Amino acid sequence: MNYIVLDLEWNQSNTGEEPEVKEIPFEIIDIGAIKLNSDRSMIDEFNQLIKPTVYLHMHKITSKLIHLHMRDLQKGRPFKEVMNEFLEWCGDDYIFCTWGPLDLYEMQRNIRYYQMNSLSDVPLRFLDIQKLFSIAYEDSKSRRSLEYAIDFLKIEKDIPFHRAFSDAYYTAKILQKLQEEVLVNYSIDTFVLPGTREEEVHVLFHNYMKYISREFADKQQALEDREVISTKCYLCHRNLRKKIRWFTPNGKHYYSVAVCPVHGFMKSKIRLRKSENDGVYVVKTSKFISEEECLKIQQKRDEAKEHRRLKKKSGKTKN
């Protein structure tokens, strides 16, 4: 299997000059990629400018960041032509690798806008090198800039940053530094969602479980689904008694704690996200926690209850 380390630059609407096109808020204008073999040796490269057709004025921040102007992009080639060439260059057996989760999502949105065949009919697995750097060298939660990681690893900065090819090149250099065992922590792109309950994603990582649902019409429908709100132990598959029932401190994230008689306290977190079709889908993570962490979640629930009580009381007072 090869690794395709990908980086994109894109342009967007300039307020007052041209309106945003909802179907393609970010138009790709530069593609850079490095191909590594199964030993993670660099074996090929790809670098192409794309001639824009949607946003014909360069956003001032984009221009300043990547040092590209519209006159440069007029020398580029059409998106469909470049993308077909790129996908042929990728080959048959590969995994995409990016710095952060955005590039692969936006590439698929551009592909759909230009009415090309989708990359996949199911959510795509990929390697988020930014996340893997954090797992390997920091706390797994922080997200550093590409240049920070290059400096941290003492990698020579022999070409400028902030162009698609150079950022792909540096990301590939970081990938080469990662230990093999870190690479099992792949990410899942959700531009394409599971179509049925049977296609929903259940993935067990080293110390947690991730679930990605199919699309629902709205938040209420999602939170009434039995799989979404279930708290089954992902190690022994028992249905668990809830110690802390589902609650939300902010209307977006929902938490619960259940108790497994074998494995202890299991925290679950539901994130509700908007889909491309204006529906919603759920990303649920579950992991085992200490009793002390359980008490912190209980405190968070009590604070949320008190906040709702005061808000309700304030509303009645005003009336």
- CA-wise closest residue to 200 among 182, 175, 226: 226
What's residue 21's pLDDT? 93
Asked if residue 199 and residue 161 are part of one domain, the reply reads no
- Tell me if 86 is assigned to some domain: yes
Asked if residue 199 and residue 153 are part of one domain, the reply reads no
pLDDT-derived band at 206 (thresholds 50, 70, 90) equals confident
Asked if residue 272 and residue 130 are part of one domain, the reply reads no
What's residue 132's pLDDT? 98
**Residue 127 backbone dihedrals phi, psi, to 5 degrees:** -105, 120
Asked if residue 205 and residue 170 are part of one domain, the reply reads no
| pLDDT tens per residue, range 134-185 | 999 999 999 999 999 999 999 999 888 778 999 999 999 999 999 999 999 9
Asked if residue 205 and residue 132 are part of one domain, the reply reads no
Dihedral sign (CA 295, 299, 300, 305): positive
What's residue 317's pLDDT? 57
Asked if residue 137 and residue 31 are part of one domain, the reply reads yes
Checking if the pLDDT of 254 tops 80, the result is yes
**Domain final position from 162, 187, 212:** 187
Structure tokens at 12: 């967007």
Dihedral sign (CA 289, 292, 294, 297): negative
| pLDDT tens per residue, range 13-31 | 986 678 899 999 999 999 9
CA distance 260 to 268: 13
Structure tokens at 82: 């470049």
The mean pLDDT value for 101-124 works out to 96
Checking if the pLDDT of 61 tops 80, the result is no
Q: Which domain holds residue 307?
A: 194-312
Asked if residue 177 and residue 201 are part of one domain, the reply reads no
Q: What total of structural domains would you count in the chain?
A: 2
What's residue 318's pLDDT? 57
What's residue 316's pLDDT? 62
What's residue 135's pLDDT? 96
CA 36 to chain centre: 22
Cβ distance 59 to 12 under 8 Å?
yes
pLDDT-derived band at 250 (thresholds 50, 70, 90) equals confident
CA distance 173 to 167: 10
- Tell me if 126 is assigned to some domain: yes
Lowest mean pLDDT among 65-74, 82-91, 116-125: 65-74
**Domain final position from 155, 187, 219:** 187
pLDDT-derived band at 129 (thresholds 50, 70, 90) equals very high
Asked if residue 70 and residue 13 are part of one domain, the reply reads yes
- Tell me if 212 is assigned to some domain: yes
Residue 60's H or E segment, with its range, is helix 60-66
**Domain final position from 135, 155, 187:** 187
Asked if residue 228 and residue 87 are part of one domain, the reply reads no
Checking if the pLDDT of 89 tops 80, the result is yes
CB 279: neighbour CB atoms within 10 A?
Answer: 17
Asked if residue 172 and residue 245 are part of one domain, the reply reads no
pLDDT-derived band at 253 (thresholds 50, 70, 90) equals very high
- Tell me if 99 is assigned to some domain: yes
| pLDDT tens per residue, range 269-318 | 999 999 998 999 999 999 999 999 999 999 999 999 998 888 877 766 55
Where are the strands (E) in 57-197, listed by range?
94-98, 124-128, 187-189
**Residue 145 backbone dihedrals phi, psi, to 5 degrees:** -75, 160
CA 150 to chain centre: 21
Asked if residue 204 and residue 182 are part of one domain, the reply reads no
The mean pLDDT value for 79-106 works out to 97
Structure tokens at 260: 């497994």
Asked if residue 199 and residue 139 are part of one domain, the reply reads no
- Tell me if 317 is assigned to some domain: no
The CATH number of residue 78's host domain is 3.30.420.10
| Residue 189, Cβ density class (10 Å: 0-12 exposed, 13-18 middle, ≥19 buried) | buried
- Tell me if 161 is assigned to some domain: yes
What's residue 309's pLDDT? 85
Mean pLDDT (the chain, rounded): 93
- Tell me if 318 is assigned to some domain: no
Checking if the pLDDT of 188 tops 70, the result is yes
- Residue carrying the six token digits 């279930």: 230
Percent share of the chain, pLDDT over 70: 97
Structure tokens at 32: 């850079």
- Tell me if 209 is assigned to some domain: yes
